[in-house]
């Protein structure tokens, strides 16, 4: 249920009071020096965007930032739950903090993000990592001041996850401390309703909620006026943007609204779900002035039986038809995808259909994952007879197929002139690094003053779509 305005105002007042009190308490702990926070982010772009909001709030509470764990007064890990490996890494890194905490007992250790929305994980931290002071989930990142205040004021451990109501709430107006200054992240929607059978995201990020087009446009304009040149719209499934708004808006409509804004910036978006990617969307991209012709379109598996078991809602043929339409409208489009190898019950023959799809489409990059069972998902209860070593062999086979296809195709760009947005300068190597419209990395020699501008680069080398070139 929506909160009443008085309730909202009371919460905002509490938040402001906590910001001030945390600032005071931390200043005492840091003996008058500026308190330092180290924030480490695991996982996807959405987590990166969340961390920018956590950092924005930490700045409000008087923190500066450090990369050095031993210098920090507060260490905050924003975790990812999408695969086992990511979780192991977090446990390992939290384990490593034990000694740092022993040396510096005043250090505050906080762990947040997707992993912490899972009951069994929070419990494991409670039992096995007693030196962690604060544990909170994705639904309560806006409550960081209140949570930190509780830790500092009581000296007790604090655990907080979102309840049912949090799954429906969108918090606007949080301060953002952005990591980059050319490319900016802009979240358009939160959560996911798809329940792909292998995926933990709907369980930890809750139901789909779209921000209003007005709020998105306001943040978009803010980014432009701060000098951002590339804006990446984020959501687990951007193509279902707007369906649940009081006045429904399609993602294509949102894109058209943003595309109408003047400037020399670019727009990208991710992630697209093939079942919701419409021809209207592809037409909009083709006709737009600012939207890059590049699309991240995860297909996950090439076999229709496996796609069904994954609950993906499209067939191989529908996926290929979508790609064909995209290429017809935008012959220069670059495509990337996500693939899961070894879904429970997948046979070698079915896996071969993944390999053939990769060869057929010709992606510029693959993000390939070995299936990893996740607590609470439907796939975790399915029979999974293929041994891990065999799945690893399949995985290698897929990478080899991609390398072969990609090596051939990637030559096609040689000699072309690309419009590159310069993002970084590596002064030691005397090189600039930027990205083409198709999201390919491109290195070339040039003056550091070009960072932030568009240049034309003639491609002289293309190794698996990593480009080198000369300024034109
Ligand atoms: N095992 C392996 N890969 C997964 N992904 C999501 N859940 C799992 C899982 N349980 C992959 C999908 C998704 C990407 C972000 O992570 O390919 O698109
Ligand atoms: Fe996970 Fe599927 Fe939602 Fe993507 S669309 S976040 S894979 S459930």
Cα–Cα distances (Å) from 236 to 117, 213, 257, 297, in that order, read 17, 17, 21, 12
Task: Write the CA distances from 317 to 159, 223, 249, 401, integer angstroms.
Answer: 47, 39, 28, 21
Q: Which of 172-176, 228-232, 265-269, 374-378 has the lowest mean pLDDT?
A: 172-176
Ligand that lies nearest to the alpha carbon of residue 203, given by its number in the listed order: 2
Mean pLDDT value across the chain:
95
pLDDT band at 1 (very low <50, low <70, confident <90, very high): very low
Q: 91 pLDDT band (50/70/90 cuts)?
A: very high
Closest CA to ligand 2's atom 2: 196
Q: Which ligand is the nearest neighbour of the Cα of 198?
A: 1
Model confidence pLDDT, tens digit, residues 280-292: 999 999 999 999 9
340 lines ligand 2 (CB under 6 A): no
pLDDT at 408: 86
Q: What are the tens digits of pLDDT across the range 14-62?
A: 999 999 999 999 998 888 899 999 999 999 999 999 999 999 999 999 9
Question: What is the reported pLDDT for 109?
Answer: 98
With helix as H, strand as E and coil as C, how does the chain read? CCCCHHHHHHHHHHHHHHHHHHHHHHHHHCCCCCCEEEEEECCCHHHHHHHHHHHHHHHHCCCEECCCHHHCCEEEEEECCCCHHHHHHHHHHHHHHHHHHHHCCCCEEEEEEHHHHCHHHHHHHHHHCCCCCEEECHHHHHHHHHHHHHHHHHCCCEEECCCHHHHHCCCCCCCCCCCCCCEEEEECEECCCCCCCCCCHHHHHCCCEECCHHHHHHHHHHHHHCCCCEEEEECCCHHHCCCCCCCCCCHHHHHHHHHCCCCCCEEEEECCCCCCCCHHHHHHHHHCCCECCEEECCCECCCHHHHHHCCCCCCHHHHHHHHHHHHHHCCCCEEEEEEEECCCCCCHHHHHHHHHHHHHHCCCEEEEEECCCCCCCCHHHCCCCCCHHHHHHHHHHHHHHHHHHHHHHHHHHCCCEEEEEEEEEECCCCEEEEEECCCCEEEEECCHHHCCCEEEEEEEEEECCEEEEEEC
Mean pLDDT of 215-235: 97
Q: Is the CB of 297 under 6 A from ligand 2?
A: no
What is the largest distance, in Å, between two alpha-carbon atoms of the chain? Answer: 65
* pLDDT tier at 357, thresholds 50, 70, 90: very high
Of 37-41, 216-220, 404-408, the poorest mean pLDDT is in: 404-408
- Is the beta carbon of 341 within 6 A of some atom in ligand 2? no
Q: What is the spatial distance between Cα 452 and Cα 449, in angstroms, rounded to a whole number?
A: 8
In short, whether 199's Cβ falls inside 6 Å of ligand 1 is yes
Q: With bands split at pLDDT 50, 70 and 90, how would you rate the model's confidence at 171?
A: confident
- At which residue do the structure tokens 């949570």 appear? 147
Ligand nearest to the CA of 377: 1
The CA 368 to ligand 1 mean position distance, Å, reads 9
The best mutation among 83, 197, 236, 314 to test binding of ligand 1, ranked by most ligand atoms within 8 Å of the C-beta, falls on 83
pLDDT per position as a tens digit, 291-313: 999 999 999 999 999 999 999 99
Strand partners of residue 111: 77, 135
Using the atom order of ligand 2, give the atom closest to the CA of residue 82: 1
Give 11's pLDDT tier (boundaries 50, 70, 90).
confident
Assess whether pLDDT exceeds 60 at residue 427: yes
Question: Which of residues 58 and 11 earns the better pLDDT score?
Answer: 58
Does the global pTM surpass 0.85? yes
Is the CB–ligand 2 distance for residue 273 below 6 Å? yes
pLDDT at 165 > cutoff 70: no
CB of 201 shorter than 6 A to ligand 2: yes
* pLDDT at position 209: 94
pLDDT, tens only, 329-356? 999 999 999 999 999 999 999 999 999 9
């Amino acid at each position: 249920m929506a909160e009443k305005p008085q309730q909202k105002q009371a919460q905002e007042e509490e938040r402001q009071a906590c910001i001030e009190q945390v600032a005071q308490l931390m200043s005492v702990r840091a003996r008058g020096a500026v308190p330092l926070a180290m924030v480490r982010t695991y996982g996807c772009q959405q987590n990166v965007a969340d961390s920018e909001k956590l950092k924005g709030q930490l700045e409000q509470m008087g923190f500066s930032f450090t990369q050095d764990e031993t210098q920090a007064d507060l260490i905050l890990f924003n975790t990812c739950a999408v695969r086992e490996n990511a979780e192991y890494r977090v446990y390992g890194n939290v384990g490593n903090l034990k000694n740092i905490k022993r040396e510096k007992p005043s250090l505050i250790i906080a762990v947040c993000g997707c992993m912490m929305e899972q009951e069994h994980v929070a419990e494991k931290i409670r039992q096995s990592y007693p030196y962690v002071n604060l544990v909170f989930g994705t639904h309560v990142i806006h409550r960081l001041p209140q949570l930190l205040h509780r830790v500092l004021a009581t000296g007790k451990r604090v655990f907080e996850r979102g309840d049912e109501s949090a799954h429906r709430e969108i918090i606007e107006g949080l301060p953002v401390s952005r990591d980059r200054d050319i490319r900016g992240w802009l979240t358009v929607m939160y959560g996911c309703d798809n329940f792909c059978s292998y995926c933990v995201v709907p369980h930890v990020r809750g139901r789909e909620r779209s921000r209003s087009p007005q709020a998105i446009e306001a943040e978009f304009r803010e980014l432009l006026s701060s000098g951002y040149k590339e804006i990446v719209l984020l959501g687990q499934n951007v193509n279902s943007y707007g369906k649940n708004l009081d006045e429904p808006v399609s993602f294509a409509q949102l894109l058209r609204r943003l595309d109408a804004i003047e400037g020399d910036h670019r727009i990208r978006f991710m992630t697209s779900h093939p079942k919701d990617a419409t021809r209207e969307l592809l037409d909009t991209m083709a006709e737009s002035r600012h939207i890059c012709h590049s699309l991240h379109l995860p297909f996950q598996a090439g076999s229709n039986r496996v796609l069904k078991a994954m609950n993906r809602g499209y067939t191989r043929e529908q996926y290929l038809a979508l790609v064909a339409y995209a290429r017809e409208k935008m012959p220069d489009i670059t495509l990337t995808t996500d693939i899961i190898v070894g879904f429970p019950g997948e046979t070698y023959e079915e896996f071969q259909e993944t390999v053939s799809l990769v060869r057929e489409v010709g992606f510029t990059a693959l993000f390939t994952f070995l299936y990893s069972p996740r607590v609470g998902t439907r796939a975790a209860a399915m029979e999974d007879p293929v041994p891990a070593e065999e799945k690893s062999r399949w995985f290698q086979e897929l990478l080899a197929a991609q390398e072969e296809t990609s090596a051939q195709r990637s030559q096609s760009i040689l000699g072309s002139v690309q419009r590159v947005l310069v993002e970084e300068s590596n002064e030691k190597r005397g090189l600039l690094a930027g990205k083409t419209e198709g999201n390919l990395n491109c290195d070339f020699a040039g003056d550091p003053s070009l960072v932030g501008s568009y240049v034309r680069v003639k491609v002289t080398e293309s190794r698996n779509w990593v480009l080198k070139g000369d300024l034109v």
